[in-house]
Structure 1
Amino acid sequence: MDKLQQIVSQFIGDDANMEIKPLGKGHINDSYKVIAGDKEYVLQRINHHIFKNVHQLQDNIQRVTEHIRKKLTGQGIIDVDRRVLTLVPTFDGALYYQDTTGDYWRVMDFIKESKSYDEINPELAYRAGMAFGDFQKMLADLPGEPLFETIPNFHNMEARLETFREAVKANKAGRLDKVAELVKEIEDRAEEMCKAEKLHREGKLPKRINHCDTKVNNILFDKNDQVLCVVDLDTVMPGYVLSDFGDFIRTGANTGAEDDKNLDNVSVDLDIFEAYAKGYLKNAAPFLSEVEVENLAFGAKLLTYMQTVRFFTDYIDGDTYYKIAYPEHNLVRTEAQFKLLQSLEENFEKMQQIVRKNYYLCTALF
């Protein structure tokens, strides 16, 4: 029995005919598809260098998936096992297994006849909006203590700026002279971009359960392109709804690539923005506060600014965090994200009008 079979056996027992093959191209965890008789599973090695508390991580996912399962069952949904992830415990009842080399592993049921998309269009954006809106709505009343923060300060702009300023001060790679103008652009926006943290301290902006990686490829669709469920729950933790909304727009509504060298390619696609906002508000409008609604479009600016700062920080530090394909890659990423931010700023009033119009249409139905 090879190593992977030995690991899987901790969850489902021995099976001489077990098949295990690589699955997908995840950036964080290594994934495998397991076929054992008529059952199929997903085996994942959890990257414990990023997710340092695996016990709390798995507890988060268990709480979230069990709560969604109860909600779906209560709604009379028949194919519940295709509509929410199912963790498979070890024979000892644990939600993960640590092997002899210190790596952590988990097993989930494989959702058959499902697919995901990397490309986006308005129809998929609309359905993705409904999916993430529904995901937040179902978890808005999760009982018990707040979820564990699997990556501390992940979407905390104040913390990101603190790290950025430390990098500027240290200037480890000696690159500051050529980017001084861009540093000023970052600082000119800093106060506005810390608005969410300020509103939270004033008690005006609540923290809710966020997905924190709202890309279209984190949604499974059936053969008819109907949403099955939201996946990749490692970063599910407390946050501001505007962050989840904004992160989808940052990745999904960009007409260019995240590292586009031709900045003329980069702008916000308002058709994608409107489709996502319409789908999201269709499900999320009932539980959102007015402050949250008024700041959804701001979330798109915030998350794009945040990613600009993250790429820029790494460039100034000498490329120690993100993988790069060539020496100036992080600067190219920084400039492309900044160009998207400028497009979002130019279109901000249109985006606000889109959100307000769709919020009004949705709330008029209740």
Structure 2
Amino acid sequence: MQSVANIEEVVLNFNCKVDIGTRKVFGSGHINDTYFLKNASQDGGDYLLQRINHHIFKNVEKLTENMRLVIGHLKNKLNETGKGDADKEVMTLIPANNNKYYYQDTNGDYWRMCYFLSNTHSYDVVENEKQAYEGGKAFGKFQKMLSDLPAGLMYEVIPNFHNLENRLNALDQAIDEDAFGRVKEVTEELEYLAGHRNTMLYFQQPEQKANLPKRVIHNDTKFNNVLLDENDEAQCVVDLDTVMDGYVAYDFGDAIRTIINTTTEDEADLSKIQLNMPLFNAYTKGYLQEAGDFLTEAEVNSLVMGVLLMPYMQSVRFLTDYLSGDSYYKIKFEGHNLQRTRAQLQLFKMLNANAEKLRNTVLNEIENYKAKHVL
């Protein structure tokens, strides 16, 4: 945690009035450090102050340009249509005194500020179908409002973030090097991954590249990146660090990966890993209620492939890190990344076995949407 003196230096360089004595750590994010700060003026909104992890996000200026472009587009959409409140439904960045929307302190750390959206909350774990439905609506609406923002404008803040081919190449390199002598422990996992390699390279296939449009997407659709209001209804999508071009199925698949599993991402007892189909159904319904009018047929057909891709790719990433000596992900014990690998592979197996059921749900929901709307 930063010293009070350093926080004071930071807030003095933003156009805000802060009661520094109210500072407290906020949220459960693993990348940036976030603090809640009260407004020193009673008639003003409170603030969130974030230290940007510039070791992961290496070009803070370009990242900020991405965020401002997306925020501006979303606010303009809401203001033009008159359907919604741009100040409540979109985050608002606060300018620094240097006329930028970030500040680099004397320690070399980068910071940004935004207004705190009062009377909102988030959940790390989806508790019921209503919440899943609202999460689907939130990310579907987010994609819909950005659907006319042309691809190619966004800076790629994390290159090849969801490029499975690159992830598999990294795994191949880790196998070849076998720097920690662990390959002999994971022959079964490697054989299973290899058996599904060609199928899971779906989004790298020339046919899919030709048929699927690149769009501006969120790229980190964990449920806690949706703020809900006092009635548990979706209000705002947050954490826009990774907004980049990609396929809509990436966002859909990552959201499902985090809500459909009945247990934790690193569950040791694989028998506990089951599919919560009611949450999948609710999320899909909410998502297509908002996204149904802009998605192409090819995009709708790709959604379940996104659901399969995400746990498969996460397995590849965890296993690569395990073979490389656990240098990327934080671990709590020896073999943690291997345990994560096996858990994500089990989730992939469960999803793959139920892929037809998942596809039927998607197709039924898009047909229900079409029946209620003139497209």
TM-score scaled by structure 2?
A: 0.94
**Conserved in 1, the CA contact under 8 Å of 2:20 and 2:37?**
no
1:36 Cα deviation (Å)? 2.4
Instruction: Report whether the alignment pairs 1:60 with 2:60.
Output: no
Instruction: Report whether the alignment pairs 1:156 with 2:154.
Output: no
2:67 corresponds to which letter in structure 1? I
Q: Distance in 1 between matches of 2:280 and 2:214?
A: 23
From the superposition, tell whether residues 229 and 64 of structure 1 become closer, same or farther in structure 2 (CA, over 3 Å): same
1:294 aligned counterpart, secondary structure: helix
2:15 is aligned to 12
1:15 Cα deviation (Å)? 5.6
Equivalent in 47, 52, 56 of residue 53 of structure 2: 47
Q: Distance in 1 between matches of 2:263 and 2:272?
A: 5
1:78 Cα deviation (Å)? 5.5
1:101 Cα deviation (Å)? 1.4
2:37 is aligned to 34
Instruction: Report whether the alignment pairs 1:255 with 2:258.
Output: no
1:201 Cα deviation (Å)? 6.7
**Bigger Cα displacement from structure 2, 20-29 vs 213-222:** 20-29
Equivalent in 94, 105, 109 of residue 88 of structure 1: 94
Where in structure 1 are there 5+ consecutive unaligned residues? none
1:97 is aligned to 103
Instruction: Report whether the alignment pairs 1:211 with 2:214.
Output: no
1:149-177 Cα distance to aligned partner (Å, 9 max, x none): 11111111111111111111111110111
2:226 corresponds to which letter in structure 1? I
**Bigger Cα displacement from structure 2, 236-245 vs 140-149:** 140-149
From the superposition, tell whether residues 293 and 327 of structure 1 become closer, same or farther in structure 2 (CA, over 3 Å): same
**Conserved in 1, the CA contact under 8 Å of 2:123 and 2:224?**
yes
Instruction: Report whether the alignment pairs 1:176 with 2:183.
Output: yes
Q: Distance in 2 between matches of 1:126 and 1:22?
A: 29
Report matched runs for 1:160-239 at 5 Å. Answer: 160-199=167-206, 202-239=209-246
Alignment length (residue pairs): 366
From the superposition, tell whether residues 63 and 307 of structure 1 become closer, same or farther in structure 2 (CA, over 3 Å): same
1:360 corresponds to which letter in structure 2? E
2:27 is aligned to 24
Q: Report runs of 4+ in structure 1 exceeding 3 Å deviation.
A: 13-19, 199-202
1:32 aligned counterpart, secondary structure: strand
**Conserved in 1, the CA contact under 8 Å of 2:202 and 2:208?**
no
Equivalent in 144, 159, 174 of residue 137 of structure 1: 144
Q: Distance in 2 between matches of 1:8 and 1:252?
A: 37
Equivalent in 272, 282, 286 of residue 275 of structure 1: 282
**Bigger Cα displacement from structure 2, 328-337 vs 9-18:** 9-18
From the superposition, tell whether residues 57 and 17 of structure 1 become closer, same or farther in structure 2 (CA, over 3 Å): closer
1:9 corresponds to which letter in structure 2? L
1:12 Cα deviation (Å)? 2.4
Q: Distance in 1 between matches of 2:239 and 2:31?
A: 10
Q: Distance in 1 between matches of 2:61 and 2:98?
A: 14
Report matched runs for 1:103-142 at 5 Å. Answer: 103-120=109-126, 121-142=128-149
* Percent identical residues: 45
2:22 corresponds to which letter in structure 1? E
**Conserved in 2, the CA contact under 8 Å of 1:5 and 1:18?**
no
From the superposition, tell whether residues 145 and 317 of structure 1 become closer, same or farther in structure 2 (CA, over 3 Å): closer
2:291 is aligned to 284
**Conserved in 1, the CA contact under 8 Å of 2:265 and 2:340?**
yes
1:144 Cα deviation (Å)? 7.9
2:357 corresponds to which letter in structure 1? K
1:291-328 Cα distance to aligned partner (Å, 9 max, x none): 11111011110011000111111111111111111101
**Conserved in 1, the CA contact under 8 Å of 2:150 and 2:216?**
no
1:13 Cα deviation (Å)? 5.3
1:147 corresponds to which letter in structure 2? M
1:261 corresponds to which letter in structure 2? A
1:239-291 Cα distance to aligned partner (Å, 9 max, x none): 11111100011111001210101101102221111111111111111111111
Where in structure 2 are there 5+ consecutive unaligned residues? none
1:28 aligned counterpart, secondary structure: coil
